[in-house]
Amino acid sequence: MTVLVPYGGPMQRFRVGPVPALVLVLLPLAACGTDETPENATGGQQQVSGADQACRDRWHDLSATVATQAARGGMVRRVFASRWESLAAGAAYYESTATADQCDEEIDAQEEAIRAQRALVDKVLPFDMESQLTNVRLGRREFRAAHPQVREPEKVRVAYGTLGALSGAADKAIGPAVVQLADTDPTQSRTITRRMRDLVLLAQTSDVWQVCKGALRTIHAYEHRAQDATLDGKKSG
């Protein structure tokens, strides 16, 4: 059984049911009776072959990959959550039920679906100002911890404040285009290209998003200068 996610139509609130619950159907019905067979006497545990377990371990690794990818971004993480949940449900199902012959076409199809979804998210993430804010704040903390004597210029401090205050509004401004992309089959390259153009246009025409972009540019320029100065100091020392 291959767990596939249908595309097409509005899917912003699309949620996949608890696929792993299907595993309950596979449990021995004798567990509800009074028949004491040798298997029941040992708790009804089914033996899993080494080959089957190796296949399930591969599905477990795939589940971990999905979890890592699903955690990326801020606004993008939330908008794409249902897509990642669908992929996670499929991987979790096979992780607990797969046999050795289900590590060929089934896992290849799931891996390809994950790659396609990741490639789409990679395109959208740079527009996610909440994610950008998280990243520059992390870099700021790390730099301050390593160089406590360095004081940021006033312009840079203002840029951090601007990005912190307006990132939410900026993401709201481009939200409709991001939702459209999340509702698109990531393998439909022409549709993705067209909807990415819509996202770019929305960002270009949003005043608040452009203000955040300018603040981010100021922060990144300062980060590069600070890193270069640090490297030059190490060389001269």
Query: What digits encode the pLDDT tens for the residues 135-162?
Result: 999 999 999 999 899 899 999 999 999 9
CB 167 within 8 A of CB 132: yes
Q: Exposed, middle or buried by CB within 10 Å (0-12, 13-18, 19+), for 188?
A: middle
Alpha carbons 56 and 51: distance in angstroms, whole number:
9
Alpha carbons 81 and 16: distance in angstroms, whole number:
11
Q: Does 83 score more than 80 pLDDT?
A: yes
Q: Which whole number is the average pLDDT over 24-37?
A: 39
Q: What sign for the dihedral angle of Cα 129, 134, 137, 142?
A: negative
Q: Which whole number is the average pLDDT over 227-237?
A: 60
- Predicted TM-score of the model (pTM): 0.76
pLDDT for residue 35:
46
CB 164 within 8 A of CB 133: yes
Q: Name the pLDDT band for 59 (thresholds 50, 70, 90).
A: very high
